[in-house]
Amino acid sequence: MTTAYPNFTKADVTLIKKESLYKGFFELNRYHLKHKLFDGSQSKIVVREVFERRHAAAVLPYDPIRDELVLLEQFRFPAMETSDRPWLIEVVAGIIEHGEQPQEVCIREAQEEAGILVSQLIKVSSYLASPGACTERIHVYLGYVDASTAKGIHGLDSESEDIKVLTVPFEQAVAWLQEGKIDNSTAIIAIQWLMLNKQKVRQQWLATE
C-alpha cells in the first residue's frame, strides 16, 4: 500500500500559453500547460478552459440560545438544469473584494442579505468549489446571531437580488438536508459541520452569556 503524500508544488507546473476567451463580471480563459506526473516524467501538453471567479466567504448564522439557524431562499437560474424548484435554501455568502478579509465579508453580507448582526465567528472550512473547472475558493464560517432579529426580504437591487430570510430550528434544517431540500455544497458543509460540533459550540458561546 502506498500512503506517501506526493510532494508536488506549483513549481511542478509549466504554463505555456494563456488565451482570454471571455472577460466580464467573470472570466473564461484557456490554458496550455505541462505538469509533473507521478512516475517522475512530464505530461504532454494539456489544454484546459478555466472559469475564473473571485473567491468567496460564507457564514451559517446560528443562534445558540434559541438553537435556530438563519437561512436564505433565493432564485438561482443555473439550478434550472437539474432542479424542479430553482429557489435554493442557502447560507449567507458573498464575493471577497480586493483588500477584504473573509470575516469582513461574512459580517457585511449578513447585514445585506438577512439584516442581522454577526457578533462572533468560528472558521468551519476552506474548500475549492469545483477545481476541475473553476478557480473559486470558499471560506466557510459559523456566526453567532440573534435569530429573533432575522426577518423580511433583502438583497441589493443593483444585483437583482430577491432574498427571503428563513428562521429555522436546527433539527428542521437537518431534516431538510437529509431530505435533499438543501442541496448546495456550502450549506451542506456548514450544517454538517454544526451537526458534528454543536455541543462544543454551544458550550463555548453560552459560557460568554
Across the chain, where does the E strand assignment appear? 13-23, 27-35, 46-52, 56-63, 68-75, 87-90, 92-95, 120-128, 137-144, 153-154, 163-169
Of 51, 150, 148, nearest to 91 by C-alpha is: 150
Question: pTM for this one?
Answer: 0.92
User: Could you list the active site residues?
Assistant: 159
Q: Which domains does the chain have, with CATH numbers?
A: 10-52 (no CATH), 56-206 (3.90.79.10)
* pLDDT value at residue 161: 80
As beta bridge partners, residue 58 has 93, 140
What kind and span of H or E run contains 105? helix 102-114
- Report helix, strand or coil for 82: coil
Mean pLDDT of the chain, nearest integer: 94
Q: What percent of the chain has pLDDT over 90?
A: 87
Question: How many other CB atoms sit within 10 Å of the CB of residue 87?
Answer: 13
